[in-house]
Amino acid sequence: MPDPRTVASTAFAAAIEFLKANQKNQNQRDKHDTIAIRARDQKWVPPQADFVKLNTDGSWLKSSSEGGLGVIARNASGHLVGGVANQVQANSVIQVELLAISEALSLASKKRRDKIEIESDTRDALDAITGKKNSDWEAYPILCQIRRKKAFFSQIRWSWASREVNQAADCLASFARRRLCAEAWVDRPPTSLVFILSKDGLPCPPSNGA
């Protein structure tokens, strides 16, 4: 018959190990997922000096399932440092919004940015990513992509912004859906996008910053 003290000691050690592992996993999740979502009222706000902010948006047409992704990456000086404008097929607007965020993470990774802020005007997408809200099953594969990509960053800040503040990404997503973006749009943005970026504080004409 096993010694009760040995059994109790083994069980205690196992419980301690489980609690430590659970705490480590929780800390890892906290690094990416429990950052406060902040609302911006009227004006786009640059990120901290060591961060890059990526504004994202999606445009979707239900009748054709055609969607457009818009990602605008800017540094602390407000300079445009990259972006994405892609057309996609999707079954819902939440899928397009999540795809835009996934593309933003890929862009930041390619540019070797370690600290980023993702800003979106779609609270449902942010809540799905941070675990505050369940999304539809068709969006699950995209959420899995996002969760894998998050691991490559030391810090991610999630922020919600009004559509007014997110106009640059919104404009780009609309252009992408309608196939109105040239391949070199980052170097030569459309006039309407230049106007929005200038209003947000980016020098006009645009100059790419580091």
Q: What are phi and psi of 33, to 5 degrees?
A: -115, -10
**What's this model's pTM, rounded to 2 decimal places?**
0.79
pLDDT tens digits, residue range 96-113? 999 999 999 999 999 999
Predicted pLDDT at 120: 96
d(CA 208, CA 167): 19
The tens digit of pLDDT for each residue in 36-54 reads: 455 545 789 999 999 999 9
Which of 111-123 are b and which e, b meaning 16 or more Cβ less than 10 Å from the residue's Cβ? Answer: eebebbbbbbbbe
H or E element in which residue 58 lies: strand 52-61
Domain coordinates of the chain in residue numbers?
1-34, 35-200
Q: 182-208 pLDDT, tens per residue?
A: 777 888 888 888 888 888 876 655 555
Instruction: Output the average pLDDT for the chain.
Output: 82
Residue 35 has pLDDT above 80, yes or no: no
Residue that is written with structure tokens 């070797």 in the block: 112
What local confidence, expressed as pLDDT, does residue 60 receive? 95
Cβ pair 125, 97 in contact under 8 A: yes
Percent of the chain with pLDDT over 90: 58
Q: What CATH topology corresponds to 35-200?
A: Nucleotidyltransferase; domain 5 (3.30.420)
Tokens read off for 197: 């970026």
